[in-house]
A and B are shown apart, each in its own frame.
Chain A
Amino acid sequence: MNENLFASFITPMMFGLPLVTLIVLFPSLLFPTSNRLVNNRLISLQQWMLQLVSKQMMSIHNTKGQTWALMLMSLILFIGSTNLLGLLPHSFTPTTQLSMNLGMAIPLWAGAVITGFRNKTKASLAHFLPQGTPTPLIPMLVIIETISLLIQPVALAVRLTANITAGHLLIHLIGGATLALMSINTTTALITFIILILLTVLEFAVAMIQAYVFTLLVSLYLHDNT
C-alpha cells in the first residue's frame, strides 16, 4: 500500500517515451474549433460557456487588461479540463506535478508584475507601502510587502498542486479502506457514502481553477491597471 499510494503520481513513460506529452495534449481533443456560424451541439455548448466565463472575468479590467483575455481563458480551460479528466479512474493528472504548475505560475505572474513596473513605475512601487502606516514601522513593512509579492507565484503553484494531489490521495485512501472493510459489513455503507461525497466535493476542482485564474486575475489587475 505504501509504494502504491504515490505510484499514480509518477510521470507516465512507455518504453522510455514520454507518454506524458500525449496525456497533456489529450484535453485539446475535447475542445474542437470551428469556423462556422452555427456549430454542432458540442461546440455551441463550449462557446456559450466560454462567453459566460470570459464576460464575468474580464469585465473588471480596462482596455489594456482585456488584452489578456485569450491567455486567461485558455488557462482556465486547460486547468479545468485537466483536473476534471483526472477524476476518471486510473488517469494521470498533469497538474499534480509541481514542475508544471510552477511553469504556469511564474511566467504569468512575472508578466503581470513587469508590465506594471514598466508602465506605471511609481504606482507599482507605491504598492510596497500601504497608506497611513506610522513612520517607525516603514522599513519592516516594506520588507514584508516585498516578501508577500515575491511569494505570490509560489503560492499560486503550490496551492494548485497541493489541492489536487491531496484530493487524489484521499480518494485512493478511502477507496482502499472501503475495499478492506468489505468483509466487515455495516461500516462499508457509511464509508462508501463518504467516498461519494468526497468525489462530489472534489469535482469542485473546477472551483480550483476558478480560484487560480481569479487570483491571477486579481494580481494582474492590481499591478497593471491601478
Chain B
Amino acid sequence: MASVVPLKEEKLLEVELGELPSWILMRDFTPSGIAGAFQRGYYRYYNEYVNVKRGSIARLSLVLAAYVVFNYRRSHKELKHERPRKYH
C-alpha cells in the first residue's frame, strides 16, 4: 500500500484505491491552489491541442466536437420533447 513517491505529489491515476481519501484531503484547496489547478488543466489542453507545430484540422474539429457534445448535454432536457414518439 505504501508507494515509492510521497503521496502529496502523485497524480490521480497513480494513487492506490486505499489511499484515495487521504489523497483528496491532502490536495490544496486554497484559492491559489484552485487557480493553480485550473492553470495546469488549461496548459494541458493548450499544449496538446493548440501549441502543436503543424496542427491539423482534426485537432480543431475535436475541440469543436467536444463543444457540441457539451451543448447537447446542456439542452437535453428541452430536446427530449422533440423526439418523434407517441408518448413523450
Residues of A within 8 A of B (CB): 4, 7-8, 12, 14, 19, 26, 29-30, 32, 34, 40-42, 85, 88-92, 179
Q: Total interface residues on B, using CB and 8 Å?
A: 22
Say whether B68 faces chain A, with CB atoms less than 8 Å apart.
yes
Known: A26-B67, A30-B63, A85-B67. A42 touches B50 (CB 8 A): yes
Docked complex Cα distance between A131 and B87 (Å): 69
Contact yes or no, B71 A90, CB < 8 A: yes
A171: min CB distance to chain B, Å:
15
Contact yes or no, A8 B75, CB < 8 A: yes
Tell me the total A-B contact number using a CB cutoff of 8 A: 53
Contact yes or no, A92 B55, CB < 8 A: no
Chain B residue at smallest Cβ distance from A41: B55
In the complex, chain B residues 40-73 whose Cβ is within 8 Å of any chain A Cβ: 45-46, 50-55, 60, 63-64, 67-68, 71-72
Find chain B residues with CB under 8 A from A90 CB. Answer: 68, 71-72, 74-75, 79
Q: Beyond the given A29-B63, A40-B53, could you list 19 further A-B residue pairs with CB under 8 A, ordered by the A residue number?
A: A4-B78, A4-B81, A7-B78, A8-B75, A12-B74, A12-B75, A14-B74, A30-B60, A40-B52, A40-B54, A41-B53, A42-B50, A42-B52, A85-B67, A89-B71, A89-B72, A90-B71, A91-B68, A91-B71
Say whether B82 faces chain A, with CB atoms less than 8 Å apart.
yes
